[in-house]
Structure 1
């Protein structure tokens, strides 16, 4: 499978969802697309669409839940639910809300309140470890939520108990709700912080190259050190839409129908 073409396909479908459901956080959902594509189409994560609660599955905690509308077309494509349901996002009676929750097959946790994903994932990883089970826990987080102290308590706990079955992936798009993160509370360099807490750290310069991400994920997974691991994927908030890429307020912006169609055309023209 061509992972770049799959990423373009998912980006187009994410924009189409936003066209039908303008309340969705489109900028936040455009930056982690290649992360999810690499996980699901790169044979990284163990999953079972026929039984989303399969005891042998790896766990995926999407801490930045509002920024994962791009997961909807991925889950539909993989057979978790009928692709026709993508037409109903945000509508009354649909389980596909503007913020995902565990009603959606493939989601593990409630994702409305940011900053809890690492803590929840660490608990899962600890439970799996003491139960002598081999499943891994992947956690996808954003920049802004890492400013919350509870994350760092969980990060310390993960090292204390050497949770080598834990992989955090940071969708590092350098923005949060109302500005660039550096202007609100600068957390850089993130890599130094995780290393200081005893984690194995790998930084991906271009988080929109799924093959670079895939290489990084494979390196992390074959790392035998008995310690938790983190991948920092440098991404662009609103990737593929010039207006969103440039704006410090991309998080809260919606796109007009014309802007969406222009962005889709640009993606299709690039592929041709």
Structure 2
């Protein structure tokens, strides 16, 4: 995929730069979780951090200074409870203010709610939160783009848990039937639901084969390996192709903080001062371990 940036002077980040930005995103996520008195969906935020960094900083053709450009790529956060991760990714990219997010998140009349609202936040393409709805919205966007002969892509990030919803598979079938090669779905395959591990409640496996059975182009990656995410984005078929693509990204809920990783207790939570220091220490330790 050869992307022509909307901003004339924009250069694409290297894998190493993207890794640094993903670390910054996780660090800011933890700081927010440590200052907000209510619960933050920190586990699923951390599992999606690398994907959202790669999308906003590398894969999507977007310009924070030109939000209405018809040539921009669109993004739908189907797993709307990961809104904080999206907000901060957008802030790092220049769409939003991180200080405003921290100062107002979750407050009455704040633009930064637990789930995203397109009315409150320019740059957010769809209000989401009810699971299983994001991909149908993205299918409609992609179909509309085809009707207008637009060349942009529509990206959608789903959690694997929500793919137990029938509405998702209706959308999957509709996308292939309408030959929406301009549609790209990412699945944050962290294998956890709110209160259980996925396979304990819903049998998803063989998971990628389910998408293949519906006629989609399937790419399987490690969702925390930035080089694999970049390669998947670079290898997307042309947006005018006939086959939609799903990138199944194997991830770890709570990634980067050892006491949160694969821990059901950290689907959502808050951090006191001591836990925040502990979490930041763990995050830094994981960063050192990855670079050794």
- Please give the TM-score of this superposition, normalised by the length of structure 2: 0.87
The Cα of 1:254 is off from its aligned counterpart by 3.6
Q: Check the 8 A contact 1:28/1:68 in 2, yes or no.
A: no
The Cα of 1:222 is off from its aligned counterpart by 5.0
The Cα of 1:76 is off from its aligned counterpart by 1.7
Which of 220, 231, 235 is 2:236 aligned to? 220
Change (3 A) 1:270 1:199: closer
Name whichever of 45-54 and 175-184 sits farther off: 45-54
Paired residue for 1:45? 60
Which of 176, 186, 191 is 1:159 aligned to? 176
Deviations 1:193-249 (A, max 9, x none): 010100000100x21111210101111245985211100000001112223213234
Q: Any gaps of 5 or more consecutive residues in structure 1? A: none
Name whichever of 5-14 and 48-57 sits farther off: 48-57
Instruction: Work out the CA distance in 1 between the residues paired with 2:157 and 2:163.
Output: 11
SS in 2 for 1:141: strand
For the aligned residue pairs, the C-alpha RMSD in angstroms reads 1.8
* 1:75-90 → structure 2 map (5 Å cutoff): 75-88=90-103, 89-90=105-106
Is 1:211 aligned to 2:227, yes or no? Answer: yes
Change (3 A) 1:235 1:271: closer
* 1:49-198 → structure 2 map (5 Å cutoff): 49-88=64-103, 89-102=105-118, 103-198=120-215
The Cα of 1:159 is off from its aligned counterpart by 0.6
Instruction: Work out the CA distance in 2 between the residues paired with 1:59 and 1:93.
Output: 26
SS in 1 for 2:25: helix
Instruction: Work out the CA distance in 1 between the residues paired with 2:42 and 2:146.
Output: 36
Q: Any gaps of 5 or more consecutive residues in structure 2? A: 1-12
Q: Check the 8 A contact 2:35/2:271 in 1, yes or no.
A: no
